[in-house]
Structure 1
Amino acid sequence: MIAKTVCELFAGVGGFRLGLTGSSDDWNFVWANQWEPSRKIQHAYNCYVENFGESTNHVNEDITNIIKDTIPAHNLLVGGFPCQDYSVARTGAKGIEGKKGVLWWQIRDIIIAKNSPFILLENVDRLLKSPANQRGRDFGVILTCLNDLGYSVEWRVINAAEYGFPQRRRRVFIFAFKNDTNYHKRLNNINNFKNILHDLGFFQEQFPIVEAFPSEKIELEHKLTYKDIADVSDTFKMEFRNAGIMLNGVIYTEETKPIPHEEYIISKILERNVDERYYIDNNEENLDKWKKLKGPKKINRVSKEGHKYTFSEGGMAFPDSLDRPGRTMLTSEGSINRSSHVVSDLDTGRLRIITPIEAEKLNCFPPNWTKTEMTERFRYFCMGNALVVGLIEKMGLTLNNIFQTEG
């Protein structure tokens, strides 16, 4: 078995670490980086350190300033990175260059420097479809980079609520593995992509799927052919489905649906004896504002170019149903905002927002994980940025088995 050493990028308040160590206590996090460029006080990093301890390998520095060779060797690279424009360009003598500020290129540089055999990344599911005018290009660029570096890849869009967790949070998870690993050799002996996804793939053990949706063109196989990454950026277009694999440069993608799980409804995570400050029905003006935000609307607007159009959006449940998992949390959670959860309190029946502890529970963090020096507003913000820890714990169980077979 190879050492279970981990490098954690864009660590936030430690969701990947919490999940992996929940699957086994022998995961060794040798380096972690967290940096919030817009904040003078680094609340998320401070929360990470308070929960996991001080270490010279817990780094609060802009990843673009890190000399990649100084990062300790590791066998698993993890991180939830921003969804940005991944376009690249030819730059004369400089060769090919990614768009400035896009953090994918920092991940690629670390992969080049450290050559980790396994990678697990998380992103919003729109990554598979962006940009709108060249669907699939951004994910195609990522796959091309990994292919050039000797990796194969499996991805899956996972809605946490569909696998028994309390939040309807849909994210794409990307698992990459070097083509010289035993894991790759095992998959390489299977001559059918569908069999990999449905039987032996990385996600299938913990996140089982049924057969693909009955519709036209649900399966697609594509061989990556390109001159360079800039060529992919210029020309690549593909309709990526919610599951797929790239093995030895051949892409297969398929629309799948999960085997049904019992729902974990939001009422199970609600607290009792909640403080008065979380209630929203303490005055009529406040309540009317919430009703307006949550209700349907059609608003006439004029664009910067002078074009008239109608902005419309449908109504939302108000309050949120207690008999369903929570909706996707955003960084604006807890504020007077259309996306914030509003629930009927279990004790009083009055309307209120969810508490910071309830926000943590929606992501499967322990209660008061973020109760550090940060403000309550920023506790909600951190949870809006976080992932569902329970998903990573389940992926950790599969990784434990994979690492057992690597020597």
Structure 2
Amino acid sequence: MKKIVAVDLFCGIGGLTYGIKKAGIEVRAGIDIDETCRYAYEVNNCSIFINKSVTEITKKEINSLFGEKNIKLLMGCAPCQPFSNYRKDKKNSNKHKDWDLLNEFLRIIKISNPDIISMENVPTLQKERIFVKFYTSLKNMGYYVNYDVHNAENYGVPQRRKRLLLLASKFGEINFLKKDIKKVTVREAIKNLSPIKAGEISKKDFIHRASKLSDLNLQRIQILFWKNLGVMLKI
């Protein structure tokens, strides 16, 4: 029986890899240009971290990671900065150093011929010609393609975060999960964390930390808090 194996492009510290492994899929490797991601990626995921630009990945290299007799899942989130609405120089976004990385994702798809593809990026990407090219190319290669903008809060994440998700499959239609997961508030997500002051780090959890703020900034936050509370209470 064939098993699904995955390779994670632009893997960072491995958030996507971790989720895919929790779903029972073996992730053979993560590829990223940032060497500082290696420790977190390998320790948390027990997978190989390849410190390399996707522009340098060869056909032989990517196919050796997948193997010959497995169902191949290629996934990746190319840097979103060129397509984000938060770019100050939006008119020249196509000159951004990361603009062409989605085309590199497409190049690797063509040389590895994966059975399943997963891509994620900012919603504004769907308005760009580079995305139309990506989508059209997948269709022309025989993939069933499905994409839509999803809000993370509908999937149990305590954050309103809209992202463009694309799934493609050679096996037939591929659909997203139904949005019937219980929403989680920020209060519910962090209610068990111990209170800490500005500049402190929790003794129980080193990730739980608060930035050190100047007295002036603390005063500003306190004023905003009481103003907002007054508005809520209609004082």
Return the TM-score normalized by structure 2. Answer: 0.71
User: After superposition, what is the alpha-carbon deviation per residue over 1:5-39, rounded to whole angstroms, capped at 9, x for unaligned?
Assistant: 10111111111221122122xx2222320213xxx
Match of 1:43 in 2: 36
Match of 2:154 in 1: 162
Match of 2:79 in 1: 82
User: Would the aligned equivalents of 2:199 and 2:213 in 1 still touch at CA under 8 Å?
Assistant: no
| Partner Cα distance (2:189, 2:47) in 1 | 31
User: Would the aligned equivalents of 1:4 and 1:75 in 2 still touch at CA under 8 Å?
Assistant: yes
Cα distance change, pair 162–54 in 1 and its aligned pair in 2 (3 A): closer
RMSD across aligned C-alpha pairs, in angstroms?
A: 3.3
1:284 CA displacement:
4.0
User: Aligned to 1:175, which of 153, 167, 178?
Assistant: 167
Q: Which runs of 5+ in 2 are unaligned?
A: 84-95, 201-209
User: Is residue 56 of structure 2 the alignment partner of residue 65 of structure 1?
Assistant: yes
1:154 CA displacement:
0.2
User: Would the aligned equivalents of 1:280 and 1:286 in 2 still touch at CA under 8 Å?
Assistant: no
User: Aligned to 1:119, which of 110, 117, 139?
Assistant: 117
User: Would the aligned equivalents of 2:198 and 2:211 in 1 still touch at CA under 8 Å?
Assistant: no
| TM alignment of 1:338-353, pairs within 5 A | none
The sequence identity of aligned pairs, in percent, is 26
| Partner Cα distance (1:153, 1:3) in 2 | 22
SS at match of 2:108: helix
| Partner Cα distance (2:178, 2:11) in 1 | 24
User: Is residue 138 of structure 2 the alignment partner of residue 151 of structure 1?
Assistant: no
Match of 1:274 in 2: 196
Name which structure has the greater RCO, CA cutoff 8 Å, separation 6+.
1
Whichever residue aligns with residue 189 of structure 2, its letter is I
Match of 2:218 in 1: 287
Cα distance change, pair 100–287 in 1 and its aligned pair in 2 (3 A): closer
Q: Which has the higher helix share?
A: 2
SS at match of 2:133: helix
Whichever residue aligns with residue 61 of structure 1, its letter is K
| Partner Cα distance (2:134, 2:214) in 1 | 51
**Count of residues in correspondence between the two structures:** 199
Cα distance change, pair 53–287 in 1 and its aligned pair in 2 (3 A): same
SS at match of 1:157: strand
Match of 1:32 in 2: 30
